[in-house]
């Protein structure tokens, strides 16, 4: 902790300089999960490994409250989920993932954290887990699939309520590899606009190429 | 209205609690969104314990599913690929026989025969889709680089995802060209000149097939290298790494330009 000077920009989320570089940390009572450094009780959030980390480090704010209910689609091995779980330490994080290998690692995290509910299932079929997940305040989606926008909307239909917010990461190439990325993005945004109020969008450079994020609010 | 919740069945305000939570957790399909929040009803039933019970059941179920999944999926793909090949050759054979019948008598029997072949063909499509879906799940990187179909074929030749991950890239490059490889090797051993094959079944990939002959070897070698890395990530970590397919695409673009 000696060299760290930072500010808490959100509950348990710190940004500041360490080792002469701008870095992001979450305050955590848990051990490292994916090989990140731990300095005192702060776990470093590596922006190259997590799109949400990149977003925060770029100075963008997507607000999470500590008692929020969040549905996370495509949690993979839980890199981002581990930090999100630190932030919403009084909330609940429902995590859906359908690939067994990363989920195995994710389960270790789920067993350690009291606020994570793991669901081994396909995010494109919310009806299959509709009797498990409650109405949530936030839906976070990071799955590179052709129909990812439809999947996002469909999950909001099941678990969103008026005013719920969403964050979706879109990879142009996985939606249509032949078309110009900009065209794909504006298509996606247009599609989202019929269900959401768009709050913010942007890229994740220099940490992640070919991706944009879209922060939005469900119209219900 | 009735809804299936993870802890039991909801029917107009009352809940019949399931006597097997794991079973009901796995079976809570509702075709339409539930108009209330599951946790509200749950807290009435379980009180403050709600989330800790949910969490416990969720973890138990997930562990069992993951374990089962990891054991079986690659064998399933392999069996499907083999079945697909068998169906392919059967369809071809049957179509020949149909023609033979038609030439003599194009009657009710012939059209019935045709209908049945068509059913088999659409079933073939179903198997192909299943292969694609499972491949995406168990080998996302290999699928991303060479496509699900070709990936499944490589997996079938290798025998398991583990074996594919353990193969050197040079082996992956010539999978499917064993005959010409060993012919060439044995000639070389006898001191004669020979050329080892440039590519095995990965030749079917458009990035190799569409290049001029003299560049195919380069592309095949590069691609095999990336497939090999991808297979290892698939086997050990299972997460997708978008860089691999990106690099393959760039290599192709560079090669096809000049």
**Shared domain check, A198 and A149:** yes
- Please say whether the beta carbons of A74 and A141 come within 8 A: yes
**Shared domain check, A156 and A87:** yes
Distance CA A98, CA A102 (A): 9
The total number of structural domains in chain A stands at 2
Let me know if residue A60 belongs to a domain.
Answer: no
Residue B67 has pLDDT above 90, yes or no: no
CATH number reported for the structural domain that contains residue A135 in this entry? 3.40.50.150
- Contact check, Cβ <8 Å, A127/B30: yes
Per-residue pLDDT tens over the stretch A18-49: 988 999 999 999 999 999 999 999 999 999 99
Q: Which of A76, A99, A175 would you mutate first to test chain B, the one with the most B CBs within 10 A?
A: A99
> What is the reported pLDDT for A3?
67
**Shared domain check, A90 and A12:** no
Let me know if residue A38 belongs to a domain.
Answer: yes
* Alpha carbon A203 to its chain's center: 15
> What is the reported pLDDT for A41?
93
| Residue A30, both tokens | 């848990």
Please tell me which of the candidates A98, A133, A157 has its beta carbon nearest to residue B38.
Answer: A133
Give the gap in angstroms from C-alpha B175 to the nearest C-alpha of chain A: 26
Per-residue pLDDT tens over the stretch B145-166: 999 999 999 999 999 898 999 9
Distance CA A19, CA B181 (A): 54
**Shared domain check, A90 and A160:** yes
B73 close contact with A: CB closer than 8 A = yes
Confidence at B1, pLDDT banded by 50, 70, 90: confident
If we measure between CA atoms, which residue out of A93, A119, A87 comes closest to residue A14? A87
Which residue from B minimizes the CA distance to A98?
B137
Residues of B in contact with A135 (CB under 8 A): 36-38
**Shared domain check, A160 and A111:** yes
Which residue from A minimizes the CA distance to B33?
A158
| Residue B171, both tokens | 């082996």
ipTM computed for the complex: 0.94
Let me know if residue A56 belongs to a domain.
Answer: no
A174 is in which domain, residue-wise? Answer: 69-218
Let me know if residue A30 belongs to a domain.
Answer: yes
Residues of A in contact with B246 (CB under 8 A): 173
Let me know if residue A152 belongs to a domain.
Answer: yes
Whether the model pTM is above 0.90: no
Rg (CA), chain B: 26
Let me know if residue A2 belongs to a domain.
Answer: no
Domains contained in chain B, CATH given: 2-60 (3.30.2150.10), 139-258 (1.10.246.90)
| Residue B153, both tokens | 């074929």
**Shared domain check, A94 and A39:** no
Per-residue pLDDT tens over the stretch A77-134: 999 999 999 999 999 999 999 888 899 999 999 999 999 999 999 999 999 999 999 9
> What is the reported pLDDT for A1?
52
Distance CA A73, CA A106 (A): 13
**Shared domain check, A213 and A106:** yes
**Shared domain check, A131 and A188:** yes
Residues of B in contact with A102 (CB under 8 A): 237-239
**Shared domain check, A147 and A42:** no
| Residue owning tokens 């000077």 | A5
Residue A196 has pLDDT above 90, yes or no: yes
Let me know if residue A214 belongs to a domain.
Answer: yes
CB pairs under 8 A between A and B: 113
Let me know if residue A201 belongs to a domain.
Answer: yes
Distance CA B184, CA B193 (A): 8
Give the gap in angstroms from C-alpha B220 to the nearest C-alpha of chain A: 22
**Shared domain check, A110 and A21:** no
């Amino acid at each position: 902790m000696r060299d760290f000077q930072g500010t808490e920009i959100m509950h348990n989320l710190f940004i500041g300089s360490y080792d002469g570089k701008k870095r992001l940390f979450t305050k955590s009572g848990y051990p490292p999960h994916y090989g990140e450094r731990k300095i005192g009780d702060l776990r470093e959030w590596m922006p190259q490994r997590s799109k949400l980390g990149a977003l925060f480090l770029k100075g963008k704010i997507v607000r999470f409250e500590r008692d929020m209910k969040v549905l996370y689609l495509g949690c993979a091995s839980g890199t981002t989920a581990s930090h999100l779980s630190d932030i919403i330490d009084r909330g609940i994080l429902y995590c859906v993932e359908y690939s067994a290998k990363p989920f195995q690692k994710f389960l270790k995290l789920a067993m350690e954290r009291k606020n994570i509910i793991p669901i081994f299932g396909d995010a494109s079929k919310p009806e299959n887990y509709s009797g498990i997940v409650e109405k949530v305040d936030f839906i976070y989606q990071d799955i590179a699939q052709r129909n990812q926008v439809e999947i996002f909307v469909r999950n909001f239909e099941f678990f969103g309520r008026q005013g719920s917010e969403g964050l979706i990461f879109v990879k142009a190439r996985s939606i249509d590899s032949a078309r110009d990325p900009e065209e794909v993005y504006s298509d996606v945004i247009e599609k989202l606009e019929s269900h959401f109020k768009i709050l913010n969008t942007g890229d994740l450079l220099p940490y992640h190429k070919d991706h944009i994020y879209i922060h939005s609010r469900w119209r219900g | 209205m009735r809804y299936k919740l993870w802890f039991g069945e909801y029917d107009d305000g009352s809940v019949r609690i399931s006597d097997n939570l794991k079973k009901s957790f796995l079976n809570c399909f509702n075709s339409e969104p539930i108009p209330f929040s599951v946790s509200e009803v749950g807290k009435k039933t379980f009180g403050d314990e709600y989330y800790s019970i949910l969490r416990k059941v969720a973890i138990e179920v997930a562990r069992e599913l993951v374990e089962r999944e990891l054991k079986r999926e690659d064998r399933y793909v392999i069996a499907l690929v083999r079945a697909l090949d068998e169906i392919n050759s059967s369809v071809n054979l049957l179509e020949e026989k149909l023609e033979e019948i038609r030439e003599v008598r194009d009657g009710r029997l012939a059209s019935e025969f045709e209908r049945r072949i068509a059913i088999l063909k659409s079933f073939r499509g179903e198997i192909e889709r299943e292969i694609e879906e499972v491949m995406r799940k168990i080998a996302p990187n290999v699928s991303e680089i060479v496509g699900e179909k070709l990936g499944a074929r490589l997996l079938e030749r290798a025998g398991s995802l583990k074996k594919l991950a353990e193969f050197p890239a040079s082996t992956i490059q010539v999978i499917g060209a064993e005959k010409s490889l060993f012919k060439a090797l044995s000639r070389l051993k006898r001191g004669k000149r020979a050329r080892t094959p440039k590519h095995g079944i990965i030749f079917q990939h458009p990035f190799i097939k569409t290049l001029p002959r003299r560049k195919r070897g380069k592309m095949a070698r590069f691609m095999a290298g990336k497939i090999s890395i991808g297979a290892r990530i698939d086997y050990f970590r299972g997460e997708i790494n978008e860089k691999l397919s990106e690099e393959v695409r760039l290599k192709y673009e560079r090669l096809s330009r000049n």
